[in-house]
Amino acid sequence: MIYLDKIRQYHWRIIPRMLKFLMRKVGLKWESYLVMIYFIQEDDLNTRLKNYIYEDVKELTPEDFYKGDLNEFDDTKLKLIHSRFESGLYKCYGIFSGDLLVYSTWLSLNRVIIPGSSISRKLGDKEGLLLDSYCHPAYRGRGYHSKMNLFRLKQLVKSGRNKAIAIVIKENLPAYRTQFKSGFRTERIIRVINLWGLILEKDVTINDDNIRF
C-alpha cells in the first residue's frame, strides 16, 4: 500500500526516486533540492487565512506521533522526532481525526540544514524554515498542505519574522506546487552527491521558469 501512495505522489517521477532509493542501499546518495523563498505580505496572508478553519490544529508532542501512520513513523523517524523536540529548536503542529494523527508539519527558527550535505547555517532574526510535512494517505486531497502552510507563515509573523524558507526535493511536484501557490519562489537549486562519505555539492542560482521536473 505504501508503494501505491508513493506512486500517486510522484507519478512517473517515482522512477528516479526508486533509483535513488536503491543507490542509498549501497552507500550512494544523489539528490537535488529546491530552495524556495517567500517574503510574507501580512495583509495578503490574513486574507488567505480566512479561507480555512484552524480550530482542529494543535501543537504536537512526541507522544502524538505514536497515533499516526506507523508505516511513516517507524523507529528511525520517531528517533529523529524525539531529537527535534529535545533540542528545543523546533515547533510541530498537527491535525487529528478522532484519535488518528492525520497531518503533521514542522517549523524551525534556528537553522537551515540541507539533508545529507555539509550545508548548514543559522537562520537570521527575520527568517524561519518550513519543513517536513506529512499527510496520512487517506486524508490527502483535502487541502491540508495549503492550510498548514499558511498557518506556519502566521506563526512566523507572530515571532516577528517575515522571510520564510522551504526546501523541496526536486521530484516532489505536489510539494513544489503547494509552496508556489503559497507565494514561494525558487531562489536556487542545491545538488548533493554522497559517494561513500565523500560529499560533492553544487549550488546554482535558478528561477522557476528554468526548472525542469
**Residue 183 pLDDT:** 92
The pLDDT of residue 14 is above 80: no
Distance CA 180, CA 157 (A): 19
**Residue 87 pLDDT:** 93
Q: Kindly give the pairing relationship between strand 163-169 and strand 127-135.
A: parallel
Distance CA 49, CA 146 (A): 10
- The pTM assigned to this predicted structure is 0.85
Number of H helices, E strands in the chain: 6, 10
For the chain, the structural domain boundaries read 2-210
In which band, very low, low, confident or very high, does the pLDDT at 88 lie, cut at 50, 70 and 90? very high
User: For 89-130, what is each residue's pLDDT tens digit?
Assistant: 999 999 999 999 999 999 999 999 887 677 888 999 999 999
- The one-letter code for the residue type at 110 is N
The grid cell for 166 is: 522551504
In which band, very low, low, confident or very high, does the pLDDT at 71 lie, cut at 50, 70 and 90? confident
Roughly how many angstroms between the first and final C-alpha of the chain, as a whole number?
A: 25
Domain 2-210 falls in which CATH fold? Answer: Aminopeptidase (3.40.630)
Q: State the average pLDDT over residues 174-202.
A: 89
**Residue 173 pLDDT:** 85
Q: Please give, one letter per residue, the 3-state secondary structure of 68-130.
A: CCCCCCCHHHHHHHHHHHHHCCEEEEEEEECCEEEEEEEEECCEEECCCCCCEEECCCCEEEE
In which band, very low, low, confident or very high, does the pLDDT at 5 lie, cut at 50, 70 and 90? low
Q: State the average pLDDT over residues 186-209.
A: 88
Distance CA 130, CA 108 (A): 7
Average pLDDT value for the chain: 89
Q: State the average pLDDT over residues 166-171.
A: 90
Nearest to 116 by CA among 12, 212, 13, 20: 20
Distance CA 105, CA 94 (A): 6
CA dihedral 133, 138, 141, 147 (to 10 degrees): -40
Q: State the average pLDDT over residues 64-72.
A: 94
Cα–Cα–Cα angle for 123, 126, 127, rounded to 5 degrees: 45
Distance CA 170, CA 211 (A): 9
